[in-house]
């Protein structure tokens, strides 16, 4: 019962909420945007961002004023994955595919019903800015996300859709249960998933899951490029 009587640190809770908002954003945010999205006072958000920046956990672009995760924070996040050896095992294959195909490759894991990008490789000039290591992307409209959905049972998929919905990002997003189920059925038949401008206009990706011995998807790999 002692734990229930101990108060949380409000400032730390606000800081963690701010980091979560940054992690869930598809694009980098400015101070006013983070203030609006967090519903926190501007002075508090500015102080938190400044603290994180001084400690090396986030970075502010000197031209755009946009905030992004710095390598120090990404390193901390990545250490929770390295125990599995997943990134290290996948790295040579991801890099080789990026070199051979001259296209971006990504490795992601499912976390809290979003895909967390834990590795990304590409040739200079080919890396897309829509995602970065540490970014979280939607599940139902990305190739890498649908690689996880394709492994769900009918009931599990129904529960996912009921709990999280199918937000529409553009006219190509599969936003009905029927269209998504048909797409996932086709994906199972061919062995990989496709996202055709469903999340980001001008972008296509294909993906496949990495399975355990009992056929559970522990991660997924995707290749991402433009429609050209």
- Domain residue ranges in the chain: 2-69, 79-226
The residue with tokens 């500015």 is 46
- The pTM assigned to this predicted structure is 0.66
Q: Superfamily for 79-226?
A: GAF domain (3.30.450.40)
Higher pLDDT: 210 or 135? It is 210
Which class in CATH covers the domain with range 2-69?
mainly alpha
Q: At what angle do helices 42-54 and 31-38 cross, to 10 degrees?
A: 120
Both tokens of 28, joined, read 């980098």
Higher pLDDT: 175 or 59? It is 175
How many residues in the chain? 228
State the pLDDT confidence band at 7, using cuts at 50, 70 and 90: confident
pLDDT digits (tens, 9 = 90+) for 156-186: 999 999 988 999 999 999 999 999 999 999 9
Q: For the residues 109-125, what does the mean pLDDT come to?
A: 83
pLDDT digits (tens, 9 = 90+) for 84-113: 578 888 889 999 999 999 899 999 988 778
- What is the residue-averaged pLDDT of the chain? 86
Distance in angstroms (rounded) separating the CA atoms of residues 26 and 199: 10
Strand pairing partners for 206? 194, 223
State the burial class of residue 148 (Cβ atoms within 10 Å of its Cβ: 0-12, 13-18, 19+).
buried
pLDDT for 106 equals: 95
């Amino acid at each position: 019962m002692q734990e229930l009587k101990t108060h949380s640190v409000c400032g730390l809770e606000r800081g963690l909420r701010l980091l979560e908002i940054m992690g869930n954003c598809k694009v980098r945010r400015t101070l006013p945007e983070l203030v609006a999205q967090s519903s926190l006072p501007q002075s508090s958000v500015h102080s938190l961002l400044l603290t994180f920046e001084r400690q090396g956990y986030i970075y502010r672009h000197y031209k755009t004023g946009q905030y992004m995760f710095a390598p120090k924070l990404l390193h901390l996040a990545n250490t929770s994955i390295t125990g599995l050896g997943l990134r290290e095992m996948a790295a040579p294959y991801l890099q080789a595919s990026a070199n051979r195909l001259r296209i971006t490759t990504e490795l992601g894991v499912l976390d809290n019903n979003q895909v967390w990008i834990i590795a990304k490789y590409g040739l200079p000039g080919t890396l897309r800015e829509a995602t970065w290591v540490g970014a979280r992307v939607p599940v139902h409209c990305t190739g890498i996300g649908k690689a996880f959905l394709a492994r769900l049972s009918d009931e599990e998929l129904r529960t996912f859709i009921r709990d999280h919905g199918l937000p529409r990002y553009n006219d190509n997003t599969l936003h009905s249960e029927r269209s998504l189920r048909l797409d996932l059925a086709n994906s199972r038949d061919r062995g990989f998933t496709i996202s055709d401008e469903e999340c980001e206009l001008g972008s296509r990706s294909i993906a496949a899951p990495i399975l355990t011995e009992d056929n559970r998807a522990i991660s997924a790999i995707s290749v991402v490029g433009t429609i050209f």
